[in-house]
Amino acid sequence: MTVLAVNTGSSTLKFALYPVHLGQVQAATLTGSFSGLEPQGQASVQWRMQDGLTGATREGSEPLQGGADRFEAALQRLQALLRELGLAPQLHAIAHRVVHGGTAYHQAIVVNDEALHGLHALSPLAPLHQPHNLMGIALCQRSYPGVPQVACFDTAFHTTLPEVETRFALPEALYAQGIRRYGFHGLSYQYVHGVLQTVSDRAHGPVVMAHLGNGASLCATREGRSQATTMGFSAVEGLMMGTRSGALDPGVLLHLLGAGWTAQRLEDLLYRQSGLLGVSGVSADMRRLRADPSPQAQRAIALFEHRVVREIGAMAACVQGMGVLAFTGGIGEHDALLRTHVCQQLGYLGVAMDDAANAQAAGDAVRSIHAPRSAVEVWVVPTDEGKVAAQAAADVLLATQP
């Protein structure tokens, strides 16, 4: 069995090809991404292929040529690339990361027209992600007719949340309509926790995972079951992010509505104009802000770190402690200074960092960065949402086919 994992964003299309042996997904033979797919963007593709037997690698990058629909052009180029690299046996499934599954979808599904219609109805809850995820499914249906398209949901990992974690203090009728907390980044948390189980004896106890990137959230688990998380009804709640505000007093929105702001203007504010970008006025990219000595850039970084520290304390309280703290995501995996600042402020919980281990180049390695005296294990775990999605797709197919 061969499964292609696809993650379609607003300007990117990430992909990975996974062989499946005896029901288990193996290391990807091909990984890559198309970037600059937004209008007027500089569209290009980068890829890396690794031979599972010899370990030999090949890499390539090139501009993306032609096509009125850049995403469709990207998928056509991907099909050609698979043929050119000799990786073009018939695909058994294409696994798609879909951010929101609502109350209806608690596990991966083979997508049909009815399901696609229902998932589109959830787009207002994740406007930065859901429409693009579903566009990727539709395009793959055209590009790969007859190949099952499997939707894998970020919300599914959080179906174990206790009721007190899913409810808002709102009337029961609204809860019955689905106005509740769902949680996101579930594919990432599932992967990270699976890795922690292989490297730490403490992973069965209280664990806090920090997925920090352009989208950012925290999740606390016990026995591998999600018990608390910072994102809720939508992917804008919780931590400060690249362009998203995170948690906000609803009175601010009432004030702005009273001042004549429209719903669309508020959506743009919360999802696209706030976070690191809004506070700094410079960039949503933490790397650019680190290189910028201006007070505005440093203020944005300090606020981001403060929100992370504040919410880690809340997550630890929800699971009565913290035996393991794990960092993942683009910022979590690569920003050693952020990890230092966060862990220094968690000293009251017994966190002590090994500065030399923390400063090592990130790469793709899982590594511990806690000092021997630390009461809490601290790990950096590069995430692989595609592998989790591919495994979910393989499980769905194996459950329905001989």
Please report, in range form, the residues annotated as the binding site: 7, 14, 97, 211-215, 285-287, 330-334, 385
Q: How far apart are CA 215 and CA 166, in angstroms?
A: 20
Residues 186 and 155 sit within 8 Å (Cβ to Cβ): yes
Please report the pLDDT score of residue 50 as a whole number. 86
Question: Binning pLDDT at 50, 70 and 90, where does residue 361 land?
Answer: low
Domain boundaries along the sequence of the chain: 2-179, 202-385
Contact 2, 19 (CB under 8 A): yes
pLDDT tens for 312-346 read 999 999 999 999 999 999 999 999 999 999 999 99
Give the pLDDT confidence score for residue 402 in this predicted structure: 59
Given a cut of 80, is residue 222 above it in pLDDT? yes
Asked if domains 2-179 and 202-385 share a fold, the reply is: yes
CB 284 within 8 A of CB 214: yes
Quote the CA–CA distance of 373 and 328 in Å, as a whole number.
23
Model confidence band, residue 39 (pLDDT cutoffs 50, 70, 90)? confident
In this structure, the number of other CB atoms found within 10 A of the CB of residue 294 comes to 12
49-74 residue pLDDT tens = 987 777 789 999 999 986 668 898 99
Instruction: Note whether 128 and 284 are within 8 A (CB).
Output: no
3-state secondary structure (DSSP) of residue 378: strand
pLDDT at 69: 84
Nearest CA among 109, 81, 98 for reference residue 134: 98
Catalytic: 364?
no
368 φ/ψ angles, rounded to the nearest 5 degrees = -90, 145
- Helix, coil or strand: residue 285: coil
Rounded Cα distance between 67 and 210, Å, is: 38
Residue 29 predicted with pLDDT over 90: yes
- The CATH number, out of the four listed (3.30.1490.20, 3.30.420.40, 3.40.50.1820, 3.90.1310.10), of the domain defined by the range 2-179: 3.30.420.40
The answer, yes or no, to whether residue 179 has pLDDT greater than 70, is yes
pLDDT of 87 above 90 = no
Question: In whole numbers, what is the pLDDT of the chain averaged over residues?
Answer: 94
Radius of gyration of the chain (CA): 21
**DSSP 8-state assignment for residue 107:** S
Measured CA to CA in angstroms, residue 371 lies from 142, 208, 355, 358, 378 at distances of: 52, 18, 8, 10, 9
Which residues define the annotated binding site for ATP? 14, 211-215, 285-287, 330-334
State the average pLDDT over residues 9-25.
92
Please, which pLDDT band fits residue 9 given cuts at 50, 70 and 90? confident
pTM of the prediction?
0.93
Helix 186-199 and helix 385-400: axis angle, to 10°? Answer: 100
Rounded to an integer, what is the distance from CA 17 to the centroid of its chain? 18
How far apart CA 266 and CA 383 sit, in angstroms, is 32
Instruction: Return the pLDDT at 38.
Output: 82
Residues of the chain above pLDDT 90, percent:
84
Structural domain 202-385, CATH architecture: 2-Layer Sandwich (3.30)
Q: Looking at 113, 154, 335, 395, which residue is catalytic?
A: 154
The arithmetic mean of pLDDT across residues 366-391, rounded, is 97
The pLDDT score that the predictor gives to residue 67 is: 64
Which of 153, 181, 173 lies closest to 247, judged by CA?
181
The answer to whether residue 299 scores a pLDDT higher than 90 is yes
With contact defined as beta carbons under 8 Å apart, do 219 and 208 qualify? yes
